[in-house]
Amino acid sequence: MANLLLTHRPPHLYFSNTEYFLTVSTYKQQHFINSNSKKDIIQSILNQALKVEEYLLHGWVILDNHIHLLVRTKEGIRLSKFIARITAKSAIELNKLDNQVGRKVWYQYWDRCLRDEKDFYIRLNYIHYNPVKHNYVTQPELYTYSSYQEYLAKYGAEWLNDCYDRYPVKDFSPEKGMEID
């Protein structure tokens, strides 16, 4: 049974033991996470939040103005608490590093319950190719702040290439969103 938060438009649906694709964006898309040390902070805080909520992280990427996560919830109703844990603590730490007091760092988050295996792998590929989309690197294996390296070490390049061939992301354009088959 899903829990529903109606105060948000569109409403958030919270399911337990369910995979979610999450996007958390900085305020006005500003590049607040613009150094390796800041990305390290986000990664550390993310890992702490995963432990507290007992969520399983399938995929992740940290960019200068947003993060994408692919997680499996334990208690779906706690998804907003999970995000708040990440954003509240990281806002404090990022503001300390930038000598800012009370600056708004995060804007909002978007979530999507994944429907099936195809949906899962298309979004995993989207996460891994996001640094390429945003011109950070020319190949996903060149980007450090992503789960791509973990998948490469565990499954190998052939598996990753096959995964992308079987579940391609057709279009990365912001106007259309993520186009899939």
E strands along the chain, which residues?
3-5, 12-14, 19-26, 56-62, 66-72, 106-113
Identify the active-site residue in 14, 55, 109, 145.
145
Annotated active-site residue 148? The verdict is no
Judged by DSSP in three states, 76 sits in helix
Q: CA 112, 79, 11 angle in degrees (round to 5)?
A: 50
CA distance 180 to 107: 26
Burial status of residue 3 (CB atoms within 10 A of its CB: 0-12, 13-18, 19 or more): middle
Residues with catalytic function: 145
